[in-house]
Amino acid sequence: MKVLLINGSPHPSGTTAAALAEVAGAIQKNGIQTETLQLGTKPVRGCIACKKCRQLGKCVFEDDPVNEWIVKAQEADGLVIGSPVYYASPNGALLAALDRMFYAAGPTLAFKPGAAIVCARRAGTTASLDALNKYFLISQMPVVASWYWNMAFGNNAQEVTQDAEGLAIMRGVGENMAWVLKSIEAGREKGVQQPRRDKVVRTNFIR
Ligand SMILES: Cc1cc2nc3c(=O)[nH]c(=O)nc-3n(C[C@H](O)[C@H](O)[C@H](O)COP(=O)(O)O)c2cc1C
């Protein structure tokens, strides 16, 4: 089994990286592999709503990490997305990437557990978690929690090491992700079927 972690910060060794490392460590302690990908600092395109992804199963833009994320997430059993808080939201570049990733491939990630974690200097964490969890919730991905909301505080990687509670919450995310994955595997071995989706009627609020 494998969990893919995505660091939505431009800093590969910043606060979000430190928090994700704590999550990954707890997952690995449970005998599950992890891989962490970086958003980086290169430009990320926003979605242009061309809807070509509906035929292609991937985004038309190949010059940023979105299509790699899609393939890696499809291969993984679970997904963790981490973001720094910018103006009480996740990093805008990360949201641009996730809009395209999930519009192209959200349905193919159904039933894989997902966890969002956020890092901030001081505020905006719950709104940011809410935004990230929505990608999982519309994609039928069970959302993995901890024993407090999945947040850690610090303005840099050194500061976050002083947030003992935040790092413990991150280990809780990792432990719970491992438990959910093992429970899904045990259910599959016992013949528990994935739920079938009813035929969807899209009304777009037109009466
Ligand atoms: C553009 C920008 C906006 C920010 N907005 C907030 C904010 O709304 N609330 C907050 O607590 N911290 C805010 N911060 C601070 C970052 O969330 C904080 O430094 C975070 O730990 C950075 O994570 P990283 O090291 O993984 O990049 C902001 C930082 C930047 C660059």
Domains of the chain: 2-189 (3.40.50.360)
Q: What ligand 1 atom has the least distance to the C-alpha of 156?
A: 25
Residue 11 Cα distances to 7, 14, 22, 38, 100, angstroms = 8, 5, 16, 8, 22
Beta-bridge partners for 89 = 86
Express each pLDDT in 22-43 by its tens digit: 999 999 999 999 999 999 999 9
pTM score, whole prediction = 0.97
Among 5, 86, 155, the mutation site with the greatest number of ligand 1 atoms within 8 A of its Cβ is 86
Q: What is the pLDDT, as a whole number, of residue 129?
A: 98
Q: What is the pLDDT, as a whole number, of residue 188?
A: 97
Band of the pLDDT at 198, cuts 50, 70, 90? confident
Q: What ligand 1 atom has the least distance to the C-alpha of 123?
A: 11
Instruction: Kindly list the protein residues whose Cβ atom lies closer than 6 A to any atom of ligand 1.
Output: 9, 11, 14-17, 84-88, 119-124, 154-156
Q: Is the pLDDT of residue 207 over 80?
A: no
**Residues 6 or more apart in contact with residue 36 via CB below 8 angstroms:** 4, 5, 6, 7, 17, 20, 21, 24
Q: Is the pLDDT of residue 70 over 80?
A: yes
Q: Is the dihedral of CA 33, 82, 65, 95 positive or negative?
A: positive
Express each pLDDT in 49-67 by its tens digit: 999 999 999 999 999 999 9
